[in-house]
Amino acid sequence: MKLLNILISIIVLFFLTILVFFLFSPVFWGAAKWKSLQKIKTSKHYDGNRFQNLIPTSVETRSDDSPSMMESIHALLRPEENKNPSLSLPSVATDYDTLQNWDFAWLGHSTVVMRTQDLTLLTDPVFYNASPIPGTITPFDMEYLPQLKDLPNIDIVLISHDHYDHLDYRTIKQLHSHVKKFLVPLWVWAHLITRWVPDDKIEEYDWYDTTQIAWTNFVFTPTRHFSWRGLTNRNSTLWGSWVIFNDDQRIYYSWDSWYFDEFKNIWKKYWPFDIAFMENGAYNDDWQHIHMTPEESIQAAVDVWAKTVFPIHRGKFDLARHTWDEPISRATQEAEKKSITIHTPLIWEIFSTTSEHTHRRKELR
């Protein structure tokens, strides 16, 4: 009986510790400034309590065939054979001080560094795990793992939304002193302030808000997704995608979204795009309204009239039920069917929209 009481006490203490962590860790919370609150209240996408998608959206689309919570946790902790890479993913170590205008480099998942009109940009920087719980959802092994010290000084960081695989506090804390400006969705300001990012470095945007920095224009555009970084704050911050254009280039970053007609509206406003970085991974039948399949991602690139497409949101973390390489395999096949050029360079490899790449990967099974 004494042993049982000790065991129960340990279990209760464990769950209380987790609860306190979720409630009070700065990973989850941040207080919004007055100016931010005023902008939120006047947003037509805010209903007084939460941000809303352009059309009603269910975060989950579960069915009787969906796995239970315990089954999902077990699958995450004990993945099936061949679900994840068995060997280190091929990647290259590169001197990023050599980045030229029109150059891009994919750092895994949704992180891209690029240079356009003498501005160096970085998207959704995540260099550690994609989870608030230490030691969980860690990056796949790579021949060369991207590190913050390899980056050049960054003019602008673009954030799409506050999920852990897109906004990594540890990265932000270490990176912000080397960044001039953060462009973020409404109320994401609060997350950055808790990591000691100075207020004057942060600019917040509603859908279709625009700004010009140097000679480059930035537009925050809608996606069909959601935000959530704690136990009770779902949709308390906005989410979206970015359009970047100047006299030299037009670039679209879709980030997380379900396929919807707004892609065609973005095309009508800002086409043609030299390249579209399209979400392509972490999909399953239970998330049909918040993530695209590879085939939908390629169709979305066609909808925005992209000359070339680069599939992102893949190749770094185990976030869904599909195998690690299924998204790029399906996207490559669909791009061939749709006759759209697809870029598939190695992680950290510098490329441009005129580069020629084939779908290269080692036999990792």
pLDDT tens digit string along 224-243?
999 998 888 899 999 999 99
Do residues 155 and 12 both lie within one domain?
A: no
Tell me, yes or no, whether 4 and 46 share the same domain. Answer: no
Mean pLDDT across the chain: 88
DSSP 33: P
Helix (H, G, I), strand (E, B) or coil at 37: helix
Q: What is the pLDDT of residues 106-140, one digit of tens each?
A: 999 999 999 999 999 999 999 999 998 888 899 99
pLDDT-derived band of residue 363, with 50, 70 and 90 as boundaries? very low
Which CATH number is 144's domain given?
3.60.15.10
Strands (E), the chain: 104-106, 112-116, 119-123, 154-158, 179-185, 202-205, 210-213, 216-221, 241-245, 250-255, 275-279, 308-312, 341-342, 350-351
Residues 3 and 152 in one domain: no
Task: List the single range of 84-88, 267-271, 360-364 with lowest mean pLDDT.
Answer: 360-364
Nearest 5 degrees, angle CA 41-CA 209-CA 280?
105
CA distance 89 to 85: 7
Q: Which domain holds residue 6?
A: 1-29
Task: Please tell me the least confidently modeled range out of 21-35, 167-181, 222-236, 350-364.
Answer: 21-35
**What pLDDT is recorded for position 365?**
28
Domain presence at residue 260? yes
Cis peptide upstream of residue 139 (ω within 30 degrees of 0): no
Q: Are residues 64 and 177 in the same domain?
A: yes
Establish if 365 belongs to a structural domain. Answer: no
Is there a single domain that holds both residue 10 and residue 152?
Answer: no
pLDDT classification of 195: cutoffs 50, 70, 90: confident
Domain contains 297: yes
Residue 358 lies in a domain: no
Residue 359 domain-assigned? no
* Both tokens assigned to 279: 């979400």
Is 250 inside any structural domain? Answer: yes
Average pLDDT estimate for 294-308: 97
Give yes or no: residues 81 and 229 share one domain.
yes
190: which 2 tokens?
Answer: 């609060």
Instruction: Evaluate whether 96 touches 151 at the Cβ level (below 8 Å).
Output: yes
- So what's the pLDDT on residue 196? 84
Same domain, 94 and 221: yes
Give how many domains the chain has, as a whole number.
2
Claim to verify: residue 39 and residue 22 sit in the same structural domain: no
DSSP string, 106-141: E-STT-EEEEETTEEEEES---S-SSSSTTSSPPPP
Name the band, by pLDDT with cuts 50, 70 and 90, for residue 37: confident
User: How far is it, in rounded angstroms, from Cα 12 to Cα 3?
Assistant: 14
Strands (E), 222-279: 241-245, 250-255, 275-279
Residue 301 within any structural domain of the chain: yes
Q: How confident is the model at residue 285 (pLDDT cuts 50, 70, 90)?
A: confident
Position 38 confidence tier, pLDDT thresholds 50, 70, 90: confident
pTM passes above 0.75? yes
Identify which has the larger pLDDT, 75 or 290: 290
Cβ(349)–Cβ(94) below 8 Å: yes
Q: Are residues 10 and 90 in the same domain?
A: no
| 162 lies in some domain | yes
* Torsion angle defined by CA atoms of residues 74, 80, 84 and 87, in that order, rounded to the nearest 10 degrees: 120
Q: What is the pLDDT of residue 358?
A: 43
Let me know whether 101 and 234 are in one domain. yes
Judge whether residue 355 has pLDDT over 50: yes
Q: What percent of the chain has pLDDT over 90?
A: 70
How large is the angle between the packed helices 262-270 and 294-303, nearest 10 degrees?
A: 30
**Distance in angstroms (rounded) separating the CA atoms of residues 256 and 281:** 9
Distance of CA 140 to the CA centre of its chain: 16
**pLDDT given at position 194:** 79
Q: Is the pLDDT of residue 357 over 90?
A: no
Shared domain check, 310 and 263: yes
Give the tokens for residue 224. Answer: 């069909």
167 shares a domain with 189: yes
